[in-house]
Amino acid sequence: MFSPPNAEVGRLLSRLTKDVGQHLGDNLIGLYLHGSLVTGDFDPGRSDLDLLALLQTDLHEREVEGLREMHARLAGDFPAWQDRVEVEYVSEAALRDFRTRPHLMARISPGEALHLTEANRHYLLNWSTARRGVALLGPPPDQVLPEVTRTEFVEAVRQHAGSWGEWVTEMRHPGGQAYTVLTLCRALYSTRHGEQVSKRRAAGEVRPLLPGWAPLIDWAAGWWYGGGQQTPDEDHFDEVVGFVGEVRSRILGGHDLRGQPSGPSGGAC
């Protein structure tokens, strides 16, 4: 049975579960918690809350407006969690058809207000982890969320990694740089093992296998999980660009952490 790490998180999840259930009514099949709060290494002062709401039918803009108001009230009542709650509102049909037919889903995430977006492969990693998550409402997630094969999971990780060659150029502040390093550590771990783990665990696993980058990985983990502050001597932009280039090349080249071809074999992740 899932147990929240502290009373505030418990109250927030209870309130969110109640509000989502009341707002969506019969259109809601289930609400699923995933991410670090389920897999481990959750940090109440830093980590986000990750959820997936599974729906009977796709949402429309008029329905999204009500959800926006609901999330605004939630943020007002739980200010410490403003911009730290990520929810994807996606239908059964979208999860079934995203490879061949576009559907709309709604999403709120850190740095993004609730909005409609296309349900596509970009979000497959979240859906995969949600399938191994915890049901706050509805049937167990592995009974209603579709399976994602290891091959498809790893391919999605590689697609994300490929985009970091461009995204890293925007990371001009220490927080973004620390996030980039930890995210690429996790991507490298995922392409080797075919599973998603916390950024903290991935950094620990990858560090001894990339000794030349160990100081940068240590800095990133220390900044991210140690309440880092932005100061001039913490700018690691050039190092991070180099780190992304090397790790991205290894991921796209299909090599595991030992430099051997990784080519995953299919099967469930």
**CB-based burial label for 6 (10 Å; 0-12, 13-18, 19+):** exposed
pLDDT of residue 247: 96
- Between 22 and 260, residue with greater pLDDT: 22
Structure tokens at 55: 């729906």
pLDDT of residue 1: 66
- Which residues have C-beta within 8 Å of that of residue 47, sequence separation ≥ 6? 35, 36, 37, 41, 84
Residue % of the chain over a pLDDT of 90: 72
Contact 105, 117 (CB under 8 A): yes
pLDDT of residue 154: 93
Q: Once rounded to an integer, what is the mean pLDDT over residues 67-76?
A: 96
Q: Once rounded to an integer, what is the mean pLDDT over residues 65-92?
A: 96
pLDDT of residue 264: 32
Over residues 6-19, the pLDDT tens digits come to 999 999 999 999 99
Domain boundaries 7-146, CATH class: alpha beta
* 58-72, 195-209, 226-240: least confident range: 226-240
Radius of gyration of the chain (CA): 19
Q: How confident is the model at residue 261 (pLDDT cuts 50, 70, 90)?
A: very low
pLDDT of residue 196: 86
Over residues 86-102, the pLDDT tens digits come to 999 999 999 999 889 98
- Which residues have C-beta within 8 Å of that of residue 196, sequence separation ≥ 6? 39, 125, 128, 129, 153, 186, 190
pTM for the structure as a whole:
0.84
The answer on pLDDT for 256 being more than 80 is: no
pLDDT of residue 227: 67
**CB-based burial label for 135 (10 Å; 0-12, 13-18, 19+):** middle
Q: How confident is the model at residue 60 (pLDDT cuts 50, 70, 90)?
A: confident
Name the residue ranges covered by the structural domains of the chain. Answer: 7-146, 151-252
Cβ–Cβ contacts within 10 Å for residue 42, how many? Answer: 19
Over residues 112-166, the pLDDT tens digits come to 999 999 999 889 989 999 999 999 999 999 999 999 899 999 999 999 899 999 9
pLDDT of residue 228: 62
- What average pLDDT does the chain have? 89
